[in-house]
Structure 1
Amino acid sequence: MFQPLTCKSVIARILCTTATAWLLCANPVYAHNVWLEPDAQGGYVMQFGGHEGKTETFDPAKLQRVHAYDLRGRELSCDVQSVRGGIRVKPDARAALIAVELDNGYFSSVKPEGDMLPLPMDKNPGAVRGVHARKFHKTVVRWGAVMQKPLGQIFEIVPQAGKAPHAGQPLKVQVLLNGKPLAGARLSWNEAGAPTLSDAQGMASVTPSAGTNILQAIWREAVQGDVKTTQNSYEFLLRFAVH
């Protein structure tokens, strides 16, 4: 029997087999994201990975928040369940938008380049660099006024249109960091798309195509005076369909 969890609780069940496996695995810091894939029962299965089309299991304790909102931005109930092979999300039937936040933790290395261990620098003797990796996501179920409202995520993409975009027509979006416009964030369609940068107001123009669109935003910033890391890494995926 699977145990349902509330959206605001931290999921503590571990999918990774052992701590040793985490230490030996390749560094999952960059080019990894979290997103939702719809299932046949009206819910969504949480996915993690995405680099070169590959997905991976992840520690559910890293999942911080899953929230659902109606067309006006009012928060709705949302069941989060740990199931075989991952996590399943079932929002209220009125949901227009689902938001996810995941803290992928600290990684560090004793070398200037190459793979990193899943440890903060102060737990990895001789480490010369570290990364704190955070992942964010929004799945658009139905377009409405809620799309234009910041949700308070540390790093987020906010579409500037309350109506569904059309294929081949520009869509303006704004990138926010800690609720403020962010200049210089890198945006692209998935990993392979040609990148564009947000302007001084955090704005960028992108052109969706017919079908499922996945807009990625990336921001890295140097950190001073933190014994655990030398860099914060933020990645965001906005997923929506265009008919």
Structure 2
Amino acid sequence: MMKTALNATILTSLLTLCAVPANAHGIYLTERSKQIVLVYGEGADDMDMVKREPLIDTVAAFDDEGKPIKASHHVSGLAMLVETEAKPAFVTAVLQNGVWSRMKGGKYEKKGLDEMPGAEVSTNNIKYAVRIQSEWLGSVSALPGQTLQIVPVGPIPKLLGQKLKYQVLFQGHPVAGARVIADFVNDPDAKELVTGKDGTVTLVVRNQGLNVIHAVYNGPSDNPAKYRNVELTATLSFTLEHKPE
């Protein structure tokens, strides 16, 4: 009986994990073993990016003038690698995570309002990511394909603890009401700051290493019969160099 109860507990836990809302996670680009990788997860939890390969809409790369560089992605073991024809200044990705709905008091299911007409929440989830791959001292403009994008206003500091202003763009324009945190990897539950009319927030650079800023914005539905809004998430990642050894 104890074994049966334990198995039931494990099964319940797995079902709960499977029902975690899609909007709790994001994608971001980083380097591992000197290679660019696309990560799906939240906080320090890396989820299975390989099984989500069919959801990847695009990966792209650009030089420091914003000109496209040929880029591709492929599975390598448990990782999703991004390879570029030349050294990029910026790398981007888009992942279509699909429609998720939840009945009041229930769990998220990958269904639309046509299948769950009484759903309390129903969203189409799209996730965007930009990585500044090189030491970048100029301004970052809106990049192709990034419906929601976080851009630094001014040069990125060389040391942690300094303040940096960010602007959130929706369809290339500053947007109010986006919710932003400074450290998606190490502090995913931090209190969010909300962008004002100019789309900006000012945050302290958290890490002398990988920094991943995360933003969420609920845009209008383009298919009200299927879902009530489009929930967009965006990340901006960059790395501060450590002192020479």
TM-score tier, shorter chain, comes to 0.7 to 0.9
Q: Amino acid of the residue matched to residue 231 of structure 1?
A: N
Partner deviation per Cα, 1:89-136 (whole Å, 9 max, x = no partner)? 112342111111111000123x22431111222134654531111111
The answer on whether the counterparts of 1:148 and 1:162 sit within 8 Å (CA) in structure 2 is no
Q: Give the deviation of 1:161 after TM superposition.
A: 2.0
Q: Give the deviation of 1:187 after TM superposition.
A: 1.0
* Partner Cα distance (2:62, 2:191) in 1: 31
Structure 1: give runs of 5+ residues left out of the alignment: 1-20
TM-score, length of structure 1 as denominator length: 0.79
Determine if the alignment matches structure 1 residue 195 to structure 2 residue 187: no
Partner of 1:134: 126
* Partner Cα distance (2:88, 2:198) in 1: 29
* Partner Cα distance (1:62, 1:50) in 2: 17
TM-score, length of structure 2 as denominator length: 0.79
Match runs of 1:91-170 below 5 Å: 91-109=84-102, 111-124=103-116, 126-144=118-136, 147-152=139-144, 153-162=146-155, 164-170=157-163
Structure 2: give runs of 5+ residues left out of the alignment: 1-13
Partner of 1:80: 73
What is the root-mean-square deviation of aligned Cα atoms in Å?
Answer: 2.6
Judging changes above 3 Å, is the alpha-carbon distance between structure 1 residues 26 and 96 closer, same or farther for their aligned structure 2 residues? same
| 3-state SS of 1:122 partner | coil
Q: Give the deviation of 1:242 after TM superposition.
A: 1.8
How many residues get paired?
Answer: 220
Q: Give the deviation of 1:223 after TM superposition.
A: 3.8
Q: Give the deviation of 1:87 after TM superposition.
A: 2.2
The answer on whether the counterparts of 2:28 and 2:212 sit within 8 Å (CA) in structure 1 is no
Q: Give the deviation of 1:30 after TM superposition.
A: 2.0
Partner of 2:232: 234
The answer on whether the counterparts of 1:143 and 1:162 sit within 8 Å (CA) in structure 2 is no
The answer on whether the counterparts of 1:102 and 1:136 sit within 8 Å (CA) in structure 2 is yes
Judging changes above 3 Å, is the alpha-carbon distance between structure 1 residues 221 and 122 closer, same or farther for their aligned structure 2 residues? same
**Larger Rg over CA atoms:** 2
